[in-house]
């Protein structure tokens, strides 16, 4: 294993695997589905400050959209001036354009780690070699969840639910954003609305069912958090008139 793989193992895979096993040892009935839900909630609570900051960034970009549209219209023939004016607007509102990428940047390594965690934990592997001292080894983890779903195998039911929730969350986010006068940005939003849920379903059909279950719970968590932050933002700013002064 190379240095990056070792770091990934120490920083994410082993902590998440041990957290899952500890929860499994104490959850009544040793229900692995409830364990994954509990682990997801714990992970979301740990990441909550970062996610909250990212969602506030999305709120800021929604509030700035009328001014951004006005800037693009004023400098539509000068991309350099347009970019400079947009950066000045971001600076004025203390907005970092990279903040919108934060949820994806955070979630991706966690998803990769959980894929490995579920492969090890639900695949009848020797858990002892992965557990910290003092963590009880349950031996074999029962992968069965409700409706006879085996979380060690792929689950089309959980995959479809995860995709639908991803669509709902993305649509909910875009509904609070004013339509841009930049056709490229509008096209990207439309593509994102449908591509992300489709990718979620496709990936879910190729991984252990524990992963889409995690995605279902984390998306529900995100929907609630997003609603709390965005609820007092007007749904439509389409008629706002903003003057951009030179």
CB 200 within 8 A of CB 163: yes
**Terminus-to-terminus CA distance in the chain, angstroms?**
57
How large is the angle between the packed helices 102-121 and 14-26, nearest 10 degrees? 60
pLDDT by residue for the chain (246 residues), tens only, comes to: 688 889 999 999 999 999 999 999 999 899 999 999 999 999 999 988 877 777 777 777 777 878 888 888 888 888 899 889 988 888 888 777 766 666 667 788 999 999 999 999 998 778 889 999 999 999 889 999 998 999 999 999 999 999 999 999 888 877 766 565 666 666 777 788 899 899 999 999 999 999 999 999 999 998 988 888 777 555 444 344 444 433
Torsion of Cα atoms, 184 then 187 then 192 then 198, to 10°: -140
- Cα gap 24→18, rounded to integer Å: 10
- Output the pTM of the full model: 0.79
CB 43 within 8 A of CB 218: yes
Of residues 179, 189, 173, the one with CA closest to residue 72: 179
């Amino acid at each position: 294993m190379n240095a990056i793989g070792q770091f990934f193992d120490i920083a994410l895979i082993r902590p998440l695997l041990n957290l899952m096993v500890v929860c499994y040892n104490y959850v009544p009935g040793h229900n692995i589905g409830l364990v994954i839900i509990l682990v997801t909630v714990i992970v979301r609570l740990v990441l909550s400050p970062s996610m909250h900051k990212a969602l506030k960034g999305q709120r800021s970009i929604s509030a700035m959209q009328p001014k951004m549209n006005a800037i693009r219209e004023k400098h539509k023939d000068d991309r350099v001036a347009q970019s400079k004016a947009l950066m000045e607007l971001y600076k004025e509102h203390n907005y970092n354009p990279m903040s919108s990428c934060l949820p994806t940047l955070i979630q991706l390594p966690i998803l990769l780690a959980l894929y490995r965690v579920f492969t090890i934990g639900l695949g009848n592997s020797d858990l002892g070699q992965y557990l910290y001292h003092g963590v009880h080894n349950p031996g074999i983890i029962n992968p069965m969840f409700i409706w006879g779903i085996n979380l060690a195998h792929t689950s089309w039911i959980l995959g479809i639910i995860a995709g639908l929730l991803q669509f709902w969350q993305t649509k909910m986010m875009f509904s609070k954003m004013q339509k841009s006068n930049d056709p490229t940005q509008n096209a990207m939003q439309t593509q994102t609305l449908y591509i992300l849920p489709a990718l979620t379903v496709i990936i879910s059909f190729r991984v252990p069912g524990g992963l889409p279950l995690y995605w279902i719970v984390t998306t529900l968590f995100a929907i609630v958090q997003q609603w709390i932050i965005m609820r007092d933002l007007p749904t439509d700013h389409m008629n706002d008139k903003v003057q951009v002064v030179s």
